Amino acid sequence: MTRNLKVPALVLKVNPVGENHRGLAMLVSGEGLLHPFAYGAQGKRSALRGTAVPYNRGIADLHFDGARNRWRLTAFDPVDTHDGLREDLDRFYTATTWAEILLKTHGAGEDSAELFELAATAFSMLSSSAPRDIKRLHVGFLWQFLDIEGVRPNPEQCGRCGKVLPIGGSDGPARFLPNGLLTGPECAENRWPALPDGARRWLMTISGEALEVAVKIGLAPGAVTAAENWLLTIIQTLLERPLRSIRK
């Protein structure tokens, strides 16, 4: 079986293969994560040499060779080269973490067009993000990602006893276990990290909102950091391994 596609795609990773070729990992709209081979892409005269690089998004010409069971990238027309990612370390490291999450979670399934849309929007916004907005954008991306993957927890419920966890209650903040399970104060130990009510309210507010809207809603820096830690803990539990790209 052979197939030819001309589809929106985001380059997540590139590996040289031999002297001349390149192996890629791409998030492809409607297809999920593919690993096409690009013949000659390392060569000086190849158009792919400069275009098929992380984290370019564009239109990919892909050919599936059924006999070899292999995808080939034959052309790539960049739409957004995200130059701003290379101009700022915080932007760049955030992009690296997103790419690692997308690579390790397969990016496949029925919702891969939705996942592609989220990634495309998030990388474009990150590329021109003001320094003060980067962390909120990051947390917003992680939160929407968990929703698309179908594993987003309810921030208003204790994961241990099921009790409703009111925002603005007087019993102290919610806390989360080393596996990311959110608990109310009645089930928590004080040594577990707290998730401030402001962070839970913010996550509730941005649920179902576009990232462009979510990032405009303010949140105190300490609460942003707590929310980031919670969501990265959940994602690493899902992956069953630590993310390498997280800066301590």
- Footprint on this chain of Zn ion (rule: CB under 5 A): 158, 160-161, 163, 184, 186-187
Give min distance, CB of 232 to Zn ion, in A. 23
**CB of 13 within 8 A of CB of 36?**
no
Whose Cβ is closer to Zn ion: residue 101's or residue 174's?
A: 174
Whose Cβ is closer to Zn ion: residue 55's or residue 176's?
A: 176
Give min distance, CB of 240 to Zn ion, in A. 25
The Cα diameter of the chain in Å comes to: 66
Give min distance, CB of 184 to Zn ion, in A. 4
Give min distance, CB of 161 to Zn ion, in A. 3
Whose Cβ is closer to Zn ion: residue 115's or residue 234's?
A: 234
Please enumerate in sequence order all residues whose Cβ is within 8 A of that of 107, keeping only pairs 6 or more positions apart, or say none.
27, 32, 33, 115
Give min distance, CB of 197 to Zn ion, in A. 16
Whose Cβ is closer to Zn ion: residue 191's or residue 244's?
A: 191
Whose Cβ is closer to Zn ion: residue 158's or residue 227's?
A: 158
